[in-house]
Structure 1
């Protein structure tokens, strides 16, 4: 290998360090891990959750318990971001596909900037239709 390719090779190794994942990607990765507590850190004080066919407004603590129950019943294996809207700095929206041991689920979440952080204000979890 010639030495004139060394700067390019170095840049390729450093690229993942330079690129920061946004909140959409971070939350998707937390869903893949089934990390309820870390996902709940993004919850607003009250948020709208639709889980299968039940929709309600929950406090942050109630929402965390609901999501924890979901992960105990459905162990996650993989996640894929299907759609994202992050063009507005105050609102972000994502649609992900979560593969679990009991099937695939479509999860959507809306983030709103509160103060200097993005918080989940709405989340829907439904069986993915094939």
Structure 2
């Protein structure tokens, strides 16, 4: 009986680890790109249309336009730190993260939203709000 419980525990833990690992990939990629101010890696995750809010101005952009905007933003605002404060969303569904981005050009409360499309997650909204 003890062996059965141990085997079940390992299987359950392994399943949770696999589910978490699948979820953690794109989420962690966004966090790491924000920490480095890496618009190139961030752009790889963009949806075909992306909502970007900067300094109170919000607009929907094509992926190509969003790449240019992000490259310009991080070019003018060298990242010092990004601290993830909160993440959430239903398991296997859309996910979001909220954190503080400290740059050479100011501090921003930053939030992002990942939506599941097929078997992949895409970044469909980014917000950089002045603190």
> What is the rounded CA distance, in whole Å, between the counterparts of 2:62 and 2:128 in structure 1?
17
Q: Could you say which structure has the higher helix fraction?
A: 2
**Other-structure match for 2:92:** 89
Shift of residue 60, structure 1, vs aligned partner: 0.4
- Whether the aligned pair in 2 keeps the contact of 1:24 and 1:84 (CA below 8 Å) is no
> What is the rounded CA distance, in whole Å, between the counterparts of 2:26 and 2:101 in structure 1?
17
**Other-structure match for 1:45:** 48
When the two structures are superposed, what TM-score results if normalisation uses the length of structure 1?
0.78
- List gaps (5 residues or longer) in structure 1: 1-17
Residue aligned with 1:64, SS: helix
- Whether the aligned pair in 2 keeps the contact of 1:28 and 1:96 (CA below 8 Å) is no
- Whether the aligned pair in 1 keeps the contact of 2:29 and 2:42 (CA below 8 Å) is no
When the two structures are superposed, what TM-score results if normalisation uses the length of structure 2?
0.78
**Other-structure match for 1:71:** 74
**Other-structure match for 1:10:** none
**Other-structure match for 1:126:** 129
> What is the rounded CA distance, in whole Å, between the counterparts of 1:120 and 1:86 in structure 2?
14
Shift of residue 103, structure 1, vs aligned partner: 2.0
RMSD: 1.7
**Other-structure match for 1:31:** 34
Shift of residue 87, structure 1, vs aligned partner: 2.9
> What is the rounded CA distance, in whole Å, between the counterparts of 1:85 and 1:105 in structure 2?
20
- Whether the aligned pair in 1 keeps the contact of 2:109 and 2:129 (CA below 8 Å) is yes
- List gaps (5 residues or longer) in structure 2: 1-17
Q: Deviations over 1:14-63 (max 9, x none)?
A: xxxx9854422221111111111110111000011111121111000100
